[in-house]
């Protein structure tokens, strides 16, 4: 995992690692992981009844585990989009396209679809563990392909081109079904169903072990496969993948490439002048981000066992963007928090809020609560949450620690964390937009000398 970094001395590597994962971060992560690991074991109906605890927002235990497993897919999406938008500063409004590509890749390689279309000539059922890499690779290739036309574009022109791709990709999956050459391939609006769930080998323990793991015995492979009745295996799988990718992305950020991205975000011209190959770095940002979306797509397809074009609309791209900005763009823990909070807000809190408020109203005889049609107000409440959160914390919940890095940035990597607190700083739009600049100056009045000097230069 440390391969991307080329240390000049061992001590520097050690220091860099220390900086990447502070002791506090590791402890917090460990505690969170322990909590997540124990949660399905403790949080079940029998225990809740025994302890007299109400279910979390009225969600029964098995459903909550499933919601958390779904939230993990959004965590991956947020981590990936954060690479493109947060690290490299390229506003991407069509990120769901790569999510779709990953999901459809999985669907083609692990469903009867190809067999049906070719009348049995091609029948591919690869293992989840293999396809997850293929999905990532395919998405990454498309990331580079779709990134290529945007290289000359800046700011919001780039945003609209990515938005265009985000509209085109699901439309292509929808319509390929009716094109003569690929008739029936993508299933049109119905999508592809009957997708294989992930499975594991029994390692000689026999298929009796499967029910104990909340899985089903799979006669075809002789192993156990996940089943849609039990979310726990998906939940643990999602946690493992997320943890691996958190480490990967954290390392990537402090790698040579990661620093190149942040340099490009801060000032593309200066970065190019410092010898950074901006074309290569930008394409890699798009493809790395896309690869994570590809993994998320594979997980999505394997869990739902159904893939349709409707699941990858512009709304999904916007939703993930909201997650990373609300969480604190550029900060890995921030975007994870944003993803979990927003996804649970949507899938647990808002879904159950109408019933909860209604019950509260009837129990305490508050007519207003009991009689309002809260279900019809779901989006209004969601919108209000977004607006209020943004007004209260415009820099996000956990902003990236720019100041901290500046103070401790003595490892010979001064540009390692020059992220504006939650700010996407594209130099040109910045200059064109004095409001944003003025604001930043008032927000961060405590600046080190280099910073204020450079902003003076800006003004000349």
Under the binding rule (CB under 8 A), the answer on residue 378 touching another protein is: yes
Selected range binding another protein among 258-266, 281-289, 402-410, 420-428, rule: CB under 8 A:
420-428
Under the binding rule (CB under 8 A), the answer on residue 353 touching another protein is: no
Selected range binding another protein among 203-211, 224-232, 278-286, 422-430, rule: CB under 8 A:
422-430
What does DSSP say about strands 223-225 and 216-218: parallel, antiparallel, or unpaired? antiparallel
Distance CA 205, CA 210 (A): 9
The residue among 222, 226, 221 whose CA lies nearest residue 211 is 226
Selected range binding another protein among 213-221, 226-234, 303-311, 417-425, rule: CB under 8 A:
417-425
Q: Which is nearer to another protein, 122 or 151 (CB)?
A: 151
Question: Judged by CB under 8 A, which of 7, 30, 120, 149 binds another protein?
Answer: 149
Q: Cβ 382 to another protein, closest distance in Å?
A: 5
Considering only residues 91 to 110 of the shown chain, the ones binding another protein according to CB under 8 A are 91
The 8-class DSSP code of residue 189 comes to G
Question: Judged by CB under 8 A, which of 386, 409, 414, 415 binds another protein?
Answer: 386
Q: Which is nearer to another protein, 234 or 319 (CB)?
A: 319
Contacts of 404 (CB under 8 A, 6+ apart): 417
Q: Which is nearer to another protein, 166 or 223 (CB)?
A: 166
Question: Judged by CB under 8 A, which of 131, 322, 350, 357 binds another protein?
Answer: 322
Sign of CA dihedral 331, 453, 428, 257: negative
Q: Cβ 276 to another protein, closest distance in Å?
A: 15
Under the binding rule (CB under 8 A), the answer on residue 161 touching another protein is: yes
Under the binding rule (CB under 8 A), the answer on residue 163 touching another protein is: yes
Q: Cβ 66 to another protein, closest distance in Å?
A: 25
Under the binding rule (CB under 8 A), the answer on residue 129 touching another protein is: no
What three-state secondary structure class fits 237?
helix
The interface mask with another protein, positions 261-290, x = CB under 8 A, is --------xx--------------------
Distance CA 43, CA 420 (A): 40
User: Which phi-psi region, left, alpha or beta, contains residue 154 (left: φ > 0; alpha: ψ -120 to 50)?
Assistant: beta
Q: Which is nearer to another protein, 145 or 248 (CB)?
A: 145
Question: Judged by CB under 8 A, which of 23, 376, 410, 445 binds another protein?
Answer: 376
Total H helices, total E strands in the chain: 22, 5
Under the binding rule (CB under 8 A), the answer on residue 318 touching another protein is: yes
Q: Cβ 214 to another protein, closest distance in Å?
A: 37
User: Which phi-psi region, left, alpha or beta, contains residue 426 (left: φ > 0; alpha: ψ -120 to 50)?
Assistant: beta
Under the binding rule (CB under 8 A), the answer on residue 423 touching another protein is: yes
Distance CA 337, CA 355 (A): 26
Under the binding rule (CB under 8 A), the answer on residue 165 touching another protein is: yes
Largest CA distance in the chain: 75
Q: Which is nearer to another protein, 22 or 178 (CB)?
A: 178
The residue among 29, 35, 71, 65 whose CA lies nearest residue 333 is 29
Q: What are phi and psi of 307, to 5 degrees?
A: -130, 125
Question: Judged by CB under 8 A, which of 118, 178, 182, 454 binds another protein?
Answer: 178
The residue among 419, 292, 421, 417 whose CA lies nearest residue 20 is 417
Distance CA 13, CA 2 (A): 9
Crossing angle (nearest 10°) for helices 155-175 and 96-109: 30
What are the b/e assignments for 319-348, b being 16+ CB within 10 Å? bbbbbbbbbbbbbbbbbbbbbbbbbbbbbb
Contacts of 190 (CB under 8 A, 6+ apart): 308
Q: Which is nearer to another protein, 149 or 222 (CB)?
A: 149
Under the binding rule (CB under 8 A), the answer on residue 144 touching another protein is: no
Distance CA 333, CA 317 (A): 20
Q: Cβ 160 to another protein, closest distance in Å?
A: 4
Q: Cβ 404 to another protein, closest distance in Å?
A: 18
Question: Judged by CB under 8 A, which of 354, 390, 406, 413 binds another protein?
Answer: 390
Under the binding rule (CB under 8 A), the answer on residue 29 touching another protein is: no
Under the binding rule (CB under 8 A), the answer on residue 292 touching another protein is: no
Under the binding rule (CB under 8 A), the answer on residue 442 touching another protein is: yes
DSSP assignment of 146-159: HHGGGTT--HHHHH
Q: Which residues of this protein are in contact with another protein, per CB under 8 A?
A: 85, 91, 149, 152-154, 156-157, 159-161, 163-165, 167-168, 171-172, 174-175, 178, 269-270, 314, 318, 321-322, 325-326, 329, 376-380, 382-387, 390-391, 394-395, 420-426, 428-429, 431-436, 438-440, 442-443
């Amino acid at each position: 995992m440390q391969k991307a970094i080329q240390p000049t001395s061992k001590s520097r590597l050690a220091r860099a690692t220390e900086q990447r994962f502070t002791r506090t971060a590791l402890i917090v992560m460990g505690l969170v992981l322990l909590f997540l690991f124990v949660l399905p074991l403790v949080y079940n109906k029998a225990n809740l009844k025994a302890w007299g605890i109400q279910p979390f927002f009225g969600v029964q235990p098995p459903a909550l585990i499933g919601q958390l497993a779904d939230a993990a897919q959004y965590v991956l999406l947020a981590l990936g989009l954060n690479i493109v938008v947060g690290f490299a500063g390229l506003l991407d409004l069509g990120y769901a396209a790569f999510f779709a590509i990953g999901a459809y890749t999985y669907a083609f390689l692990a469903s009867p679809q190809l067999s049906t279309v070719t009348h049995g000539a091609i029948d591919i059922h690869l293992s989840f563990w293999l396809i997850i890499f293929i999905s990532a690779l395919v998405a990454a290739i498309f990331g580079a392909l779709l990134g290529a036309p945007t290289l000359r574009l800046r700011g919001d022109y780039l945003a609209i081109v990515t938005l265009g791709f985000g509209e085109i990709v699901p439309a292509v999956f929808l319509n390929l079904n009716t094109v003569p050459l690929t008739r029936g391939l993508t299933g049109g609006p119905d999508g592809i169903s009957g997708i294989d769930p992930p499975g594991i080998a029994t390692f000689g323990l026999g298929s009796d072990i499967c029910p104990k793991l909340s899985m089903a015995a799979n006669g075809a492979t002789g192993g156990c496969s996940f089943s849609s009745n039990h979310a726990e295996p998906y939940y643990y799988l999602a946690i493992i993948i997320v943890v691996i990718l958190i480490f990967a992305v954290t390392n990537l950020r402090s790698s040579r490439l990661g620093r190149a991205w942040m340099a490009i975000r801060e000032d593309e011209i200066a970065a190019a002048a410092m010898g950074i190959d901006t074309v290569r770095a930008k394409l890699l940002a798009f493809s790395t981000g896309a690869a994570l979306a590809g993994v998320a797509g594979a997980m999505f397809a394997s869990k739902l066992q159904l893939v349709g074009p409707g699941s990858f609309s512009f709304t999904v791209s916007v939703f993930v963007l909201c997650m990373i900005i609300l969480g604190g763009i550029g900060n890995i823990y921030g975007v994870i928090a944003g993803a979990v909070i927003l996804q649970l807000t949507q899938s647990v809190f808002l879904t159950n809020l109408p019933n909860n408020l209604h019950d509260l109203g009837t129990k305490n005889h508050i007519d207003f609560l009991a009689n309002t049609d809260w279900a019809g107000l779901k989006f209004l409440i969601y919108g209000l949450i977004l607006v209020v959160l943004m007004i209260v914390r415009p820099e996000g919940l956990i902003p990236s620690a720019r100041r901290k890095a500046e103070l401790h940035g003595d490892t010979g990597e001064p540009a390692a964390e020059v992220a504006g607190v939650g700010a996407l700083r594209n130099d040109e739009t910045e200059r064109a937009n004095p409001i944003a600049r003025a604001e930043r100056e008032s927000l961060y009045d405590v600046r080190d000398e280099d910073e204020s000097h450079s902003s003076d230069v800006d003004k000349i």
